[in-house]
Amino acid sequence: MGQIELKGVAKRFGDAEVIPPLDLKIEDGEFVVFVGPSGCGKSTLLRLIAGLEDVSGGKIEIDGRDATAERPAQRGLAMVFQSYALYPHMSVRKNIAFPLKMAKVPQAEIDAKVNNAAEILNLASYIDRRPGQLSGGQRQRVAIGRAIVRNPQAFLFDEPLSNLDAALRVNMRLEITELHNTLKTTMIYVTHDQVEAMTMADKIVVLQAGKIEQVGSPLDLYNHPKNRFVAGFIGSPKMNFMTGAEAAKHDAHEIGFRPEHIAVGETGDWKGKVTVSEHLGSDTFLHVDTEFGIINVRANGNVDVHHGDTIWMTPDRSKVHRFDAAGNTL
Amino acid sequence: MARASTTQRKAVVTVCAWAVGLVIFFPILWTILTSFKSEVDAIAIPPKFLNFNWTLDNYHDVQERSRYFLHFMNSVIISLGSTILALIIAIPAAWSMAFVPGRRTKDILMWMLSTKMLPAVGVLVPIYLIFRDFGLLDTRTGLIIVLTMMNLPIVVWMLYTYFKEIPGEILEAARMDGATLSKEIIYILTPMAVPGIASTLLLNVILSWNEAFWTLNLTAANSAPLSAFIASYSSPEGLFYAKLSAASTMAIAPILILGWFSQKQLVRGLTFGAVK
């Protein structure tokens, strides 16, 4: 079981309120991603759950038990750090065995569990090496191995992939998702990368300045953002926002169209000049200078336009996102 | 072209480095050479470099006239004692400053270092009077206390910079893995900090071994370490350069050998934090 509930949890550092009181419920077995721009408090929130920081107010319940005052190890949670935080003076085997050793597990059982974790994560071939002799991806696997052996009620990941190169990141993303499918243990994953959030999460928690902006499934956030911030943060390339006459047409203070909901053609509603065209083969990203400012367009396949070309664009007006003056979705 | 100038530059740098090294080492070399000369050869003009009658008489005389072994043991006890005492105080201090710094931690560190900028003679009289009243004059205990205090700022600073290099996340990982504070210290921090603790220990032993101001002023016969033993051969004995050199050579030999074998550790310890 790994149900985690935050009730009015708040954090202050001195006079600065990093996280105003917030409530959040994470169901057993869920893969929850905390996402937000850097400095939004997502890592702090994770550290509060882990017990590495003390809450300034509120309660943390794990499986219905009040864990607010418990030490990190008592909470039954395992954490994977951004820097991997492996013990450099210990072999991979000893690193993975460390939490079991601390829990005074019999040696025979430790060996069995370590071997099992090594098998799941494919690290048997370098089990006797030290962390310094491993690549970034291998280190991350060891860190995950160290988390798995404890059989935790939930895994906490603090931006675990941000130190890896792009190709490896995609691989590890898949591996972590597969791991979740196999173990079915609650996972809380912190990232600033909304692509990671969209691809991995059952539930995304979007944070800004310590405040929860919206909680929902990835597609829910994509299709029905609660406000302008979530609309702008989820989706890549970013949503295009417009005010003024264009917004008034839709009876709103501000409107937004996602780049994939704007069609390019010989004629259309808006005229603009292409400043940058990015041809990926599968898609074409255009940055177009218009009377509303720069508009991002995403077209399927290769579209034969280049820097300096004048093009016409037509938004799919059924997919418009409308906001009031406070930035809330209408 | 580029390669030629690089080689040239390397050669120049190498020659310069050797020249500086020789200039620094020359007094020690000269002391050692002089210790094997007769008193007449020692003051000969022009100086004799290698072409003199080599003799061990000075070492023999020095051995007969003073108790080298007593001073040697005093040096060992005082330098090791003050170093270990300083480490016992400094490890927890550096620990808290590195991992749970307060708002004034930086100020405390600077203040501690600032005490090293005060000339020692400025506090000689009060310390002398305190030592007299507490019966600490000419005792090893007294010297251990005073040298501990003198070197504590450096020890704390060195350990602090060392501990600062240990990523906090590793300690947090240990905490998540169920390590209590004592286990975190035993299994994670200490093994990771061993090189730093070792080089701090070495440097402090050397500093204490070579310390002359307090050892000369606060000791007489019983607790005098080797620095006082050398000094006893200088002025009152007149111009006995060869014997003075023999005494000096015997005094610096142990620490020179220790320094030679641990130079890698020492350099690493002193440049840690500065060079990554």
* pLDDT, mean over chain A: 91
Q: Which residues of A189-227 are buried (b: 16+ CB within 10 A; e: fewer)?
A: bbbbbbebbbebbebbbbbbebebbbbbebeebbeebbb
Lowest mean pLDDT among A43-57, A102-116, B109-123: B109-123
Q: Starting from the edge strand earliest in sequence, which strands make up the sheet with A270-279, in order?
A: A262-265, A310-315, A270-279, A283-290, A293-300
Provide the pLDDT for residue B174.
92
Of A195-199, B10-14, B210-214, which range is least confident?
B210-214
Q: Which of B166, B175, B177 to mutate to test the interface with A (most CBs of A within 10 A)?
A: B177
> CB neighbours (10 Å) of residue A161?
24
Lowest mean pLDDT among A47-51, A208-212, A270-274, B1-5: B1-5
State whether B176 and A83 contact (CB < 8 Å): no
Check residue A165 and give its pLDDT.
86
**pLDDT of residue B168 exceeding 90:** no
**Percent of all residues in chain A with a pLDDT value above 90, rounded to a whole number:** 66
Reply yes or no: is the peptide bond before residue B126 cis, omega within 30 of 0. Answer: no
Confidence (pLDDT) at B44: 77
Longest dimension (CA), chain A: 74
Write out the two tokens for A220. 């829910």
Domains A4-230 and A240-323 share a fold: no
List residues in chain A touching B: CB distance below 8 A.
50, 52, 71-73, 77-79, 81-83, 85-89, 98-99, 102-103, 146, 150
The pLDDT score that the predictor gives to residue A15 is 85
Per-residue pLDDT band at A296 (split at 50, 70, 90): very high
Facing B179 at nearest CB: one of A83, A85, A102 = A102
Average pLDDT over residues A160-186: 89
Q: How far is A72 from chain B (nearest CA, A)?
A: 5
Domain edges within chain B: 2-57, 65-271
Give mean pLDDT, residues B214-222.
84
Looking at chain B, the whole-number percentage of residues with pLDDT higher than 70 is 93
The predicted model gives A248-275 an average pLDDT of: 91
For B257, residues 6+ apart whose C-beta sits below 8 A from its C-beta are none
Fold of B65-271: MetI-like fold (1.10.3720)
pLDDT tens across B105-128, in order?
999 999 998 888 888 888 899 999
B173–chain A nearest CA distance, Å: 6
pLDDT given at position B235: 62
Integer Cα distance of A15 and A18 in angstroms? 9
Residue pair B40/B52 in contact (Cβ under 8 Å)? The answer is: no
Does residue B236 surpass a pLDDT of 90? no
Residue B233 has pLDDT above 90, yes or no: no
Mean pLDDT of B68-94: 90
CB contact under 8 A, B176 and A89: no
Residue B274 has pLDDT above 60, yes or no: no
**CA distance, residue B156 to nearest chain A CA (Å):** 24
Q: Of chain B residues 174-203, which have a CB less than 8 A from chain A? A: 174-179, 183, 187-188, 191-192
List, for residues A263-293, the tens digit of each pLDDT value.
998 888 999 999 999 999 999 999 999 988 8
Q: What is the mean pLDDT of residues B158-180?
A: 89
Contact A87/B170, CB-based, under 8 Å? Answer: yes
Return the residue of B nearest to A77 by Cα: B176
Half-sphere exposure of B268 (CA within 13 A, CB side): 14
**Closest chain A C-alpha to B107 CA, distance in angstroms:** 19
Mean pLDDT in residue range A21-39: 92
* Residue A87 with chain B: CB contacts under 8 Å: 170, 173-174, 188, 192
Which chain B residues are within 8 Å of A72, Cβ to Cβ?
172, 175-176
Enter the tokens of residue B129. Answer: 């009077």
Average pLDDT over residues A234-245: 90
Taking residue B116's Cβ as centre, other Cβ atoms within 10 Å add up to: 13
Q: What angle do CA A44, A178, A234 make, to 5 degrees?
A: 50
Best of A46, A75, A98 to disrupt the B interface by mutation (most B CBs within 10 Å)?
A: A98
Residue A79 clears pLDDT 80, i.e. is over it: yes
Q: Does domain A240-323 have CATH number 3.60.60.10?
A: no
Q: A274 CA to chain B: closest CA distance, Å?
A: 46
Inter-chain contact A102–B178, Cβ cutoff 8 Å? Answer: yes
Nearest CA in chain A to B179: A102
Quickly list H helices, chain B.
2-35, 39-42, 57-65, 68-99, 105-114, 124-133, 140-164, 168-176, 181-183, 190-210, 213-218, 226-231, 241-261, 263-271
Say which of A52, A88, A102 has its CB closest to residue B177: A102
Q: Find the CB nearest A78 among B169, B170, B176.
A: B176
Residues of chain B with Cβ-Cβ distance to A98 below 8 Å are 174, 177, 179, 187
Q: Which of A107-121, A178-192, B207-221 has the lowest mean pLDDT?
A: B207-221
CATH of domain A4-230: 3.40.50.300
Given a cut of 70, is residue A51 above it in pLDDT? Answer: yes
Task: For chain A, give every domain's residue range.
Answer: 4-230, 240-323
Note the ipTM here: 0.83
pLDDT at A70 over 60: yes
Q: Which residue has the higher pLDDT, B161 or B222?
A: B161
| Interchain contact, A71 vs B172, CB within 8 Å | no
Residue B192 has pLDDT above 90, yes or no: no
| B115 C-beta neighbours (distance < 10 Å), count | 12
Cross-chain Cβ contact A87/B175 below 8 Å: no
